[in-house]
Amino acid sequence: MKESDEAVQCISITIDDALNGQRLDHALTSVCDLSRSRIQQLIADGLVFRLSVVPGEGVSLVAVRKHAFRVALRQSYEIHVPANAPLALQAEDIALDILFEDEHLIVVNKPPGMVVHPSHGHDSGTLVHALLHHCPNLPGINGVERPGIVHRIDKDTSGSLVIAKSELAHQRLVEMFARHDIRREYLAWCRGAPTWKEQRIDLPIARHPQHRQKMSVQMHGKPAITVARVEASYRRDFSRLRLNLHTGRTHQIRVHLSHEHLPILGDAVYARSYNPGSNIPVVARQAVLTLKRQALHAEVLGMNHPISGDPLLFTAPLPDDLVQLSAALDMAYA
């Protein structure tokens, strides 16, 4: 394999015994530092070529546009990686609560109210804008406008998030998330209290058939598994749950708990509006009414370092609003 130093990087690969018969995207990913999603995009863009010898004309390049194409022994390929276009995003000097950082990774404790990456209606003030200021080399990661992002949490969910700072770290983190090799534990404060102490919620999730901004439990949906454990019960009024994600579907915890009739306090999408009655202790009632977002926090993030293999475990401290909510419920139901 060789690489050029031109504006368009050229990576040359010859298929050996170990790669023979593999899918094109798998084979190329295994011998270069690009992620599989990046390779697939380059294939779709017509930037992956097979070298073909034409008698009397020499070698020509034939674009291969199917990532499931099976490679064969001694075939040669070229990957043309264009220079990353300058991001339209401007770095913003926004403070980050950094739990860990080295040359490959950064783990942050995202505050509630911050969107992870730019989207319609959120063109500034996102975590990506803050990361671009903190990590000047980040725009080259994965060649997209979500530099280094391998997973996300909702705007109004707080807690731990890992971001890749190198292409190889990004590739390996994506693979780890796909294999569910990342430990993710959340805390949620909910209405009601379950009859069980621990429950494996194994219910598929898909886009809601009527409300396109929502997800819902659908038998034709993608597999989704959440293991919920009761940490505290406040009579039958409220409960605090610890949740382990075994998959990572959009709004997974919020959908699963709503389906279990345990809506998360403050959730404006998956919980009906709630006005605590006179049966709720005053301290608890005030705490619930002052909550401005869903009471959900990504507390624990654990993994093996994608480059060194060293075990890593991070605990994101609770933000002030959840500290106050938890203290109020403990006091009210002591």
Task: Point out the residues that are catalytic.
Answer: 154
- Dihedral angle over CA of 233, 234, 235, 237, nearest 10: -110
**DSSP characters over 148-192:** TB-----TT-EEEEEEESSHHHHHHHHHHHHTT-SEEEEEEEEES
Amino acid at 20: N
CA distance 243 to 187: 6
Between the alpha carbon of residue 154 and those of residues 111, 182, 229, 253, 267, the distances in Å are 10, 18, 22, 11, 11
The Cα 263–Cα 26 span in angstroms is 41
Is 294 in contact with 287 (CB distance < 8 Å)? no
Buried (b) or exposed (e) across 107-138, using 16+ Cβ within 10 A? Answer: bbbbebebbbbbeeeeeeebbbbbbbebbeeb
Q: What is the dihedral of CA 270, 275, 277, 281, to 10 degrees?
A: 90
φ/ψ (deg, to 5) at 315: -125, 120
Q: How many CB atoms lie within 10 A of CB 329?
A: 23
Q: What is the DSSP string of 58-75?
A: EEEEEE---TTPBP-TT-
Nearest 5°: the CA angle 308, 314, 319 is 150
CB 304 within 8 A of CB 169: no
